[in-house]
Chain A
Amino acid sequence: MSDKPKDHASKSDRVELSDPLEFPAGLPGFEEHKQFIFESRAEMRPFLWLRSVDDPEMALPIISCLLLKKQVLLHISKEELSLIGSPAEADIAPYYILRVDPKEGTITANTKAPVIINTKSMQGRQVILERDGLVVDEPLKNLVPSGEGA
């Protein structure tokens, strides 16, 4: 689309940013960060970044839970949802925070504590789910849907 060489593509070709989202409680470990922006880099999809508005150096890699296996779909209490404006199910966008396993060099997802976004009110929160089988370091590979032919 652009006639420039790829390495010199303009910033808007490479990075998309959402409007700021409010995180009234911050994130555990980053409680003082109350506003975040979603960042998408074309070459890194489907990975996204949750970047702090208060301190742009602070960002966490995330991925939409909706792209992953359905068994990990969320069970979030009404109390938790009420903290981000009680969104309807269709208005909840859930994400897993990712990190790199220092030994394996592979990506793991924190399925125990997803970030949920109310896409209507633009509020977000990281919730801690108390369910068996959810762990803070699930290899992302295990969450990739398979054999569905799609």
Chain B
Amino acid sequence: MRVTNSLIKDQIINFLTANQERLADVQRQISTNKEVAVSSDDPVRFDRASRFKSLLGKNEQYTSNIDDGIAWIVMGAESLDVVYEALQQAKVLALQTRGDAVSSTRAQVVPYVDALIEEMVLMGNSKFMGKYIFGGTITKDTEPFAYDGVSVTYNGNDGSLTRKVGDDTYLEINTTGSEFLNAFGAVIALRDALDADDGAAMDAAIAQIDTVSTQLLNTIARAGSMQRKLELTRDNLEIANVNLQSYISQAEDVDLMEAILQFNAQELGYRAALESSARIMNISILDHLR
């Protein structure tokens, strides 16, 4: 380990020594107000910096893909929340008319349940930027859910939609309609039971609503975790871009040196106060690791 360490250090020392002259140049440039541009000074270094600059652009594209993906997921989650609320309202209506209620009361709530079904279908056909959110890869022309007053059918597919968030990384953004198709079935079963004034069928429908509600919460949670993944990736890209810019600062030595010298000059009091502790800090970490 010692040998390896000193070998590595020697290599870096060699590198730095080779750069001493360049460093002196840089300091000369600072004192002569940057007479020479870095590009003409050192084409290789300039190429590296510009390569990293193009990486920055790429990362910005990925970040924009992520923002788009998050907006898609949020829109979907909001629609699913409304579907969940509709399920709970249907259940409340069922419980209110279940007990001792007379048949006529049950028939009276049928239109309300029907309205809930239509609201759920409307949510299932939500669009984002002109595209259906829940149709799988069928995002145009065909509405994912069709309701003929009797039953709801799903006309989408189970295809997943992704956003490119890295050179070889794609993250999923969609929930497909088949993941919550049974929510419609449960409320329709309730509507039919109310219409038929069938207490046993109502109980079955209420149980069904509970089951699909739980499933729907899981689906919403999955959307939340897709969103979280995208957010973490976005954070990482943001930091990557800051690091790349830091590298570019460093590669374009003139600006950095100038900024440091200026900082140290302007914050002279600070620097003086810290000089001893800075020494201690530097040396302690360096010694520690030596």
Contact = CB atoms under 8 A, between A and B. Distances in A.
A136 B270 contact: no
Interface string A1-45: 000000100010011111111000001111000010111100011
A136 to B, nearest CB: 5
Interface stretch (B16-24, B104-112, B135-143): B16-24
B9 A110 contact: no
Given A98-B246, A100-B249, A105-B255, A18 B290 contact: yes
Contacts of B274: 46, 67
Contacts, number: 156
Contact of B246 (A60, A106, A117, A150): A60
A150 to B, nearest CB: 6
Nearest to A106: B259
Contacts of A18: 285-286, 288-290
What is the predominant secondary structure among interface residues of chain A facing chain B? Answer: mixed
Nearest to A58: B247
B282 interface: yes
B275 to A, nearest CB: 7
A46 B282 contact: yes
Contact of B281 (A64, A136, A150): A64
Interface stretch (B92-100, B211-219, B235-243): B235-243
Contact of A61 (B235, B256, B288, B289): B256
> Counting chain A CB atoms within 10 Å of each CB, which of B259, B281, B286 scores highest?
B259
B273 interface: yes
A46 B285 contact: no
B32 interface: no
B239 A126 contact: yes
A18 B278 CA distance: 15
A105 to B, nearest CB: 6
Contacts of A126: 239, 243
11 contacts: A11-B20, A15-B13, A18-B289, A19-B9, A29-B59, A29-B239, A37-B9, A40-B282, A97-B246, A119-B288, A136-B239
List the 6 closest pairs (A to B, CB-CB), nearest first: A29-B240, A46-B278, A18-B289, A28-B240, A99-B246, A56-B15
Given A20-B5, A105-B262, A113-B242, 14 more contacts: A7-B24, A19-B9, A29-B59, A37-B8, A37-B12, A44-B260, A47-B260, A60-B243, A66-B281, A100-B249, A106-B259, A110-B246, A119-B285, A145-B270
